[in-house]
Each structure stands twice: as structure tokens, then as C-alpha cells.
């Protein structure tokens, strides 16, 4: 699909959402952000190992389109709308091949996305035993699933609202 397409589609979804859907979308994204913060607290030791030991190797030589989803962009654009232009500049560097993550500042890091507002795979991927934080990972995944379902069911909701308006006329 390409991350440029996903980014533009996320902008479109947000722009075309009616006030009720936008309110629900913000609520789901807030739940994700809280789950990310809880995961970060619970995984403090693992994150320290990642920073000190791996030094961001998980952000190197990757195929970004397989990591960042449409839901990730909707989430990030809802909770961190101020980084939209910076992200758009990074997207100009999208490659068809494996490369270092285009969202690393100056090509090295740190990540453009704030610590508690990152794509799902970026925050739940550890190079150590995840057993102690499995509950927090499941909660975060569940919230991202809720966001994905909300996005997928957006068109039927719009169609339903349109049909109801036609019936009332």
C-alpha cells in the first residue's frame, strides 16, 4: 500500500469524519495512548536494555510499509497533530527497499514520534523476554484492534447516516 498512501488516507479519514465519529476516534486514541504509557512504565527495564544494548537496531534496515499501518497513522495524527508537517517531510524519503526508518531524526534518532505516541509494532517489539509485560501488550493490541475496526466500519456508518437522512426527508 505504501506509507505515503496510508498517511494521506489517515488524513482523509480524520478530515471526513463527522463530529460524533471524531469524538469516538479521539476516545479510542486516548485509550491507546494510556495503554502505551502503561506499557512503557511496565517495560522500563526492557526499554533500558533496548536503548543501551541494541541502540535502535530494530529501526535499521527495515521495510517500513510492513511496520506502520493505516491505524497507526490515524492514531498518531489524532494525538500528535503538531508533527504532521515533520512526518510529511520524512515521507518524501520513502523507499521501496529496506532502509533505516525515515522517522529517525537526522537519520539516526531519536524517533520523530513521541515516546507515548508510537506505532503499535514499534512499541510492542522487544529483543528480550516479554512475559512480564504480556498483559500490557495485549491491552495495547486490543485498543489498536478497536481502532482498526472503527476505521473499517466508517463507510457503513456514513452510508447508514445518509440513508437515515433520506428517509426523514
Q: pLDDT tens-digit profile of 76-98?
A: 999 999 999 999 999 988 877 77
Structural contact between residues 126 and 44, judged by C-beta atoms closer than 8 angstroms: no
pLDDT at 128 > cutoff 80: no
Q: Which residue has the higher pLDDT, 7 or 124?
A: 7
Q: Residue 2 — left, alpha, or beta (φ > 0 → left; ψ -120 to 50 → alpha)?
A: left
Quick one: pLDDT at residue 163? 77
Query: Mean of the per-residue pLDDT values for the chain?
Result: 88
Average pLDDT of 110-130? 86
Structural contact between residues 78 and 17, judged by C-beta atoms closer than 8 angstroms: no
Mind listing the pLDDT tens digit for each residue in 41-78?
999 888 887 777 766 777 888 888 889 999 999 999 99
Quick one: pLDDT at residue 55? 67
Residue 9 burial by Cβ neighbours in a 10 Å radius (0-12, 13-18, 19+): middle
Quick one: pLDDT at residue 23? 96
Quick one: pLDDT at residue 95? 78
Work out how many domains the chain is built from and give that number.
Answer: 1
Quick one: pLDDT at residue 130? 86
pLDDT at 165 > cutoff 80: no
Average pLDDT of 107-111? 81
Quick one: pLDDT at residue 51? 72
Q: Which residue has the higher pLDDT, 97 or 40?
A: 40
Structural contact between residues 72 and 124, judged by C-beta atoms closer than 8 angstroms: no
Quick one: pLDDT at residue 108? 79
Domain of residue 161 covers: 3-168
Total-model pTM: 0.86
Structural contact between residues 2 and 94, judged by C-beta atoms closer than 8 angstroms: yes
Amino acid at each position: 500500500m505504501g506509507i505515503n498512501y496510508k498517511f494521506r488516507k489517515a488524513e482523509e479519514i480524520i478530515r471526513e469524519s463527522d463530529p460524533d465519529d471524531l469524538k469516538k476516534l479521539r476516545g479510542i486514541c486516548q485509550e491507546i495512548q494510556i495503554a502505551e504509557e502503561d506499557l512503557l512504565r511496565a517495560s522500563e527495564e526492557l526499554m533500558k536494555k533496548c536503548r543501551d544494548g541494541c541502540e535502535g537496531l530494530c529501526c535499521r534496515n527495515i521495510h517500513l510499509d510492513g511496520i506502520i499501518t493505516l491505524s497507526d497513522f490515524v492514531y498518531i495524527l489524532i494525538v500528535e497533530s503538531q508533527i504532521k508537517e515533520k512526518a510529511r517531510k520524512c515521507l518524501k524519503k520513502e523507499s521501496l527497499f529496506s532502509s533505516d526508518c525515515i522517522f529517525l531524526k537526522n537519520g539516526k534518532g531519536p524517533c520523530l514520534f513521541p515516546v507515548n505516541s508510537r506505532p503499535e509494532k514499534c512499541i510492542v517489539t522487544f529483543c528480550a523476554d516479554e512475559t512480564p509485560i504480556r498483559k500490557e501488550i495485549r491491552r495495547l493490541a486490543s485498543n489498536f484492534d478497536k481502532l482498526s475496526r472503527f476505521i473499517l466500519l466508517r463507510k457503513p456508518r456514513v452510508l447508514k447516516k445518509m440513508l437515515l437522512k433520506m428517509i426523514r426527508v
